[in-house]
Structures are given as structure tokens and as C-alpha cells.
A and B are shown apart, each in its own frame.
Chain A
């Protein structure tokens, strides 16, 4: 009620506010050095970091992950089991860095929505089937996705590291959950350029 009076609302997925008189929860389990690396512009570094943390998919297990004294539970559909001997709190770690995109990306991985498309020349590109049913293209070597969220939150507002589709691509690489599809070189070139018309290049440039 107080928040509403001040015109503030909880956004979906936002970290809950601590009760009055209680100390705020610790901000992070992520070393500052790691966070700084994640904010860098080299996606291969991120893929390496994720793969080093022995994240393993497990479709059947119900998981609860302790975070900041509270806990949040993952549904069985999107659960990731962490190796008890490995890096603690993989899901908390992902959620801290990527916010609500982390769970959405894990859902995409769990649904096998990420496909690596490769041509005889060896060139590869990723396609991710979004929750809306639309296919988005992600490049293998750098941060780029054809989805509107990437254009708005990453490029224009600069308040996200990447969209959920790119994160799903990295998680799929790390967990071996990618589907593979072989196409001709011409077809791969067409996929790389699929959004050209939508961006208005034909008329504007």
C-alpha cells in the first residue's frame, strides 16, 4: 500500500524488499571480478565461465536453491541440478547476473529451443524458438540477437547484458542441450540475413 501511494510497484521478478529493521541481504555471491568479466564484451569468456561451473540439466528433479537467507524454488520443468562439489548456487548466480532472463533462458534450454545450424563451409549460427513461437537468430561469435528485447534493453537502454535467447544459447552450449541442423551454404546465408527486410534496409539504406 505504501509503495502504491508513492507510485511504485513491484516489478515481476524483482528482488523482494527486506522487512523494516532487518539488515538487507547480501548483494551477491558473485566475486566482483567475475561480475566485471561478465560485463565485458567477449561472449566466449561468459561461455567459459558458465561451463566451468559444472551446470548440469536435470529434467526430473525438483530443486530448491538457497539464496540470501530466503529461497526460491524451480519447477521441475526448468530445474538445473548443481554439482554439490562444484560452484555453489549456480541458479542464484545466474539469477543475480541476468535477473528474470535467467529462468526464462533455462526454460528455453529445457524445451530444447536452441538449434545450432551449420553449413558445409563450417560456418554456424544459432536459432532460438522464442516463447512467442517466433524464431530468432543469434550469432555464434558475438552478442547479437534479432529479438526486440536485444534492440531495446541491450542496445538502446544498455541495462541488460544480453537477452534471454543469447543466454539460452550459452547455456545450451555449456550443457550440450543444443539441437544440430545441417543446411546448405546458401541457406545459412539466408538465415544470417533473415531480418533484413523487417529492419527496413530495403527502403532506408
Chain B
């Protein structure tokens, strides 16, 4: 799955075998925006979240719909953990075709108040199992290669939420992790960021060197992505720009 994140962040090209990825970051670090970007940049995606976001990708304030339909898949909003589990268990019956990207936003909201590690493990395992089932349904493409349904989930981490107690369990099922944190250079005033909120995204995955990007969010929610110069990005080209919603989430 991390391939979808790499594509969203502008590092195209073949990487290691896609593995489920977890996007971790504090409030306002752009977790939802990054997932939306992955949905827009890739193939048919299914986006799951506890509730609809206030704005869809590329929409201006007050707009809600049409541009969001560019996500070739759909949005589903199971409001509780129980509903999410039921949805995942019955997705094969309810979808017309298999998605190639399964996105879950707001994992911390589903796991809030759940005791013990087994609930987190069950949800993670069901997500992985569902993505694995979709992979089997995708078959082979025209080039003869077998596409994979990639899985990406996001969770807020702040050091205070209950769901973070389950992090070590989640990491069993999500070998790749993309950590978002405030950019230290911008925080110290060493860089002119033009009033944008700046974050660093560090992607760690088995069998590959870590990669790092800078994310900037303007007041209008616009998200800019650029590879960190000394990082391992394959294509340190011009910074990409995308107007995204939910950047403040």
C-alpha cells in the first residue's frame, strides 16, 4: 500500500512489494488530505471514514460534491466500529467491482473506548483480509501483471488518545508507516514558509530505505508536497501542488 502513498507524494516508480500502510500524525497534520491525494492519484479507490469530511478534494469553500466524484470508487461512512466491521465482512456482496485501493480514515475514532488488544487486531486483520480478497478479485491486467489492492489507514497520534495503546498491535498488520510531524526547520524559523503550516512525512517500509517529504498547508487548505533534498526520493522534481480538503484534520 505504501506504493499509493509514494504516488501521492510524487515518488513514482517500482518499489518493494506493497504492504499495508498506516499514516500517523497529530491533529492538523494532513492525514485525511494525504489519503484523499492517494485516492485521486491512483486507481479505483474505496474511502471509508466515520463521517463525511466538510470539503472534498479540490472543492472551494461551500462546494461539496462534483470534484469529489473524481475518486473512482466511492465513499462509505460507517459511524461506529460495529458498523465498520459489518461493512468489511459483507463488502464483497455490496460492491459492484473490487477497488485497487482501500482507505480508512480516522482509525482512532473507531478504536476509542475499546478494551484490550484483540479488538484492534480484529479490525486490522479484517481490513487486511478484505484487501487481500480484493487483490484476488482484481486478476491480471493487460500487461499480464497482477495488481494488488493496497490498504492505507490513518490514525491520529498525540500521546493522549486511548487508541494509541493499540499502536504496537496495529503495527503487526501495517508493516509500512508514514509519520507526519511538524517541520523542525520551519518551527525554528530557519525556513521561510510563507505562512504555511509545514510538516514532514517520513515513510518507513520493510525492504526499502526511508523516504521523506515536506508538506505545506496554506490558509486555503492547499497542500504542497516536495521531497526533502537529502532524502531518498526518486524524483526530486518540482514540488507538486494540490488543493485538498480536510487538511486541518
Residues of A within 8 A of B (CB): 41, 119, 121-123, 125, 139-144, 146, 150-151, 155-156, 158, 185-186, 188-190, 192-193, 195-196, 199-202, 204-205
Q: What chain A residues lie within 8 Å of B67 (beta carbons)?
A: none
Q: Do B133 and A122 have beta carbons less than 8 Å apart?
A: yes
Q: How far is the CB of A29 from chain B (nearest CB, A)?
A: 26
A48 CB to closest chain B CB, in angstroms?
14
| Interface range for B | 35 or more
Interface of A: prevailing SS:
loop
A179 to B129, CA, bound (A): 20
CB-based nearest B residue for A199: B119
- The answer for the CA separation of A155 and B165 in the assembled complex, in Å, is 12
Are B93 and A205 in touch, CB under 8 angstroms? no
Q: Contact at A195–B136, with CB atoms within 8 Å?
A: no
CA distance A119 to B80 in the complex (A): 26
A193 to chain B, nearest CB (A): 5
A193 with B132, Cβ < 8 A, contacts A144-B122, A151-B116, A204-B113 known = no
Give the interface segment out of B39-47, B57-65, B83-91. Answer: B83-91
Q: For B136, give the chain A residue with the smallest CB separation.
A: A122
Would you call B117 and A155 a contact (CB within 8 A)?
yes
Number of A-B residue pairs having CB atoms within 8 Å of each other in the complex: 95
Q: Is B241's beta carbon under 8 Å from chain A?
A: no
B133 contacts A123, CB within 8 Å? yes
Name the 4 nearest CB pairs between A and B, nearest first. A144-B125, A141-B132, A121-B92, A189-B89
Contacts of A202 in B (CB 8 A): 82
The complex places the Cα of A202 from the Cα of B88 at a distance, in Å, of 17
Name the segment of B26-34, B152-160, B168-176, B178-186 touching the other chain.
B168-176
- A189 touching B90, Cβ below 8 Å: yes
Q: Assuming the A-B contacts A193-B86, A205-B82, are A140 and B129 also in contact, with contact meaning beta carbons closer than 8 angstroms in the complex?
A: yes
B128 x A199 contact (CB < 8 A): no
Return the chain A residue nearest B115 by Cβ: A204
Q: Are A189 and B80 in contact (CB under 8 A)?
A: no
Contacts of B126 in A (CB 8 A): 139, 192
Closest Cβ–Cβ distance, residue B29 to chain A (whole Å): 25
Judging by beta carbons under 8 Å apart, are B86 and A199 in contact?
no
Q: Which residues of B contact A192 (CB under 8 A)?
A: 88-89, 126, 129
Q: Digit string of B10-45 for contact with A (CB within 8 Å is 1, else 0)?
A: 000000000000000000000000000000000000
* B208 on the A face (CB < 8 A): no
Q: How far is the CA of A190 from the CA of B141 in the complex (A)?
A: 32
Minimum distance in angstroms from A117 CB to a CB of chain B: 13
Chain B residues lying within 8 Å of A41, measured Cβ to Cβ, are 172-173, 175
Write the nearest CB–CB distance from A142 to chain B, whole angstroms: 4
B132 touches A140 (CB 8 A): yes
Q: Which residues of B contact A122 (CB under 8 A)?
A: 92, 133, 136-137
Nearest-CB residue, chain B, relative to A144: B125
CA distance A141 to B119 in the complex (A): 17
Which has the most chain B C-beta neighbours within 10 Å: A121, A186, A202? Answer: A121
User: Cβ of B169: which chain A residues have Cβ within 8 Å of it?
Assistant: 155
Q: Which residue of B lies closest to A44 (CB)?
A: B132
Query: A155 with B121: in contact, given A122-B133, A204-B114, A205-B114 (CB under 8 Å)?
Result: yes
Interface residue B140 (Cβ < 8 Å from any Cβ of A): no
